Structure 1
């Protein structure tokens, strides 16, 4: 779809509510705001099952969720036949930003592939528009290819900055002992590209250059392979499954973290911006004027 076609989409609370209803129906779930202590306990248990090792505590507790809900922030849950199968919560940014920071979103393992996470985000956008907000931001691990595709392509979020070891050492079931580098993205909830994406009709980047040079690729040993180039438009490839590498070859996984930090991270810390993320699992980056 072109940006001209995108004009057919006009952001409004009513449009966003319709998109949220349709996304939930496609996923086969009911999504609603949570306000009861019992529901907060279920969220904590769900997140514990997703992120922590046996015997470790959840990354969020009932008291925090209760406080966020009471303060008017977003705490949403997805239900299938009365069972909580996904949840998402966030908190308001500084008042003049008219923004929400979405902190954690998670979906139970058995619901993967059902677009429950997408439905939760579309519901969160509908809530944000109803609250008069302009944007939602969150971080994700830029080494996980499926997360990059979800955030940059399926949701049409805009990468805004790269943060080195953002949370410090977490050593949970997903991050291992690796540094927690994160990419911050901003979701401009009124942008025609975002509106179209929420209706399941993502718009391609019209001005994306087709010619690019590799800056980081996957070597024959599945490790990171750096390339020397002065090109302005470059590609930074990701390993197919960094989460498995963290379990089986932690040293190689750490090498990938450093390589991505030195390529994608350094580009964004300079004048660079991410143009796209493609199906092969690579970022295309405009590094700006070099030198």
Structure 2
């Protein structure tokens, strides 16, 4: 076993101990059904429309994809599912029981996924997340060291689960280079958000009413702000949440389409974006 793999396995073991869980691959029908039920409790899809089926999990597992659960004794508290893809592994979905949040179980699942992948000579993992959810942006970009690759407007079409209904399904595709030193360091605490460059210009900010305000987008270094809690905003002010979706799609989506790069995410909820130098 190479030093890289050994270090990844050790980091995974440490993350599991700190979270108080044991992560293992699922292989039995009862385990698959429990995983499906957990994901449905997290996302709350309409009755009769499960988020994912037992049969699909069986197919993923049997084909050698990533299907794991995080257990406290015999209680399933978290699930993470990924399938083999052209890039290596695509991490499709992960969820943690509401009562178990705040215990870094999601982090333990990702660190385990890294070790599992490296043990199989997979060096890159991709996944998508809602770019308006600040805690996920921070987790993915600042904590794990993933890199934003592409802004995908309305990627999944209209969604009717309790988390996404009525808000569109824009997603950010990220790539996780499992061999990068920054990623290896991110798998161990502490973690810090990106520092704000002194020459950064606000390309998207919030006004006194919490609504998006567009700024100039032609500066070399830009900040793109998102709400601190878009989920609460969706529940309390859905019109404002929709305004943020449109503004982020136009600014961040437009910048990435033009070749700009996301270089970090700050603790106070701003993407750092840099334009490529011409010439």
> Scaled by the length of structure 2, what TM-score is found?
0.95
Alignment of 1:1-291 (within 5 A): 12-53=4-45, 55-94=47-86, 97=87, 99-202=88-191, 209-289=197-277
Q: CA deviation at 1:229?
A: 4.6
CA distance in 1, matches of 2:190, 2:205: 30
Which structure 1 residue ranges, 4+ long, deviate > 4 Å from structure 2? Answer: 201-206
> 1:202 Cα shift?
4.4
For structure 2, the residue ranges without an aligned partner over 5 or more in a row are none
Query: 1:231, CA displacement in angstroms?
Result: 1.1
Q: Matched residues in 1 for 2:5 and 2:246: separation?
A: 42
RMSD of aligned alpha carbons: 1.8
8 Å CA contact 1:233, 1:285 repeated in 2: yes
Aligned length: 277
TM-score by structure 1 length?
0.91
Cα 1:244–1:201, aligned 2, differ >3 Å: closer, same or farther? Answer: closer
Deviation digits for residues 28-62 of structure 1 (CA, Å, limit 9, x no counterpart): 11111111111100000000000015635321110
Displacement of 1:12 in angstroms is: 1.7
Unpaired stretches in structure 1, ≥5 consecutive residues: 1-9
How far is 1:80 from its partner?
Answer: 1.1
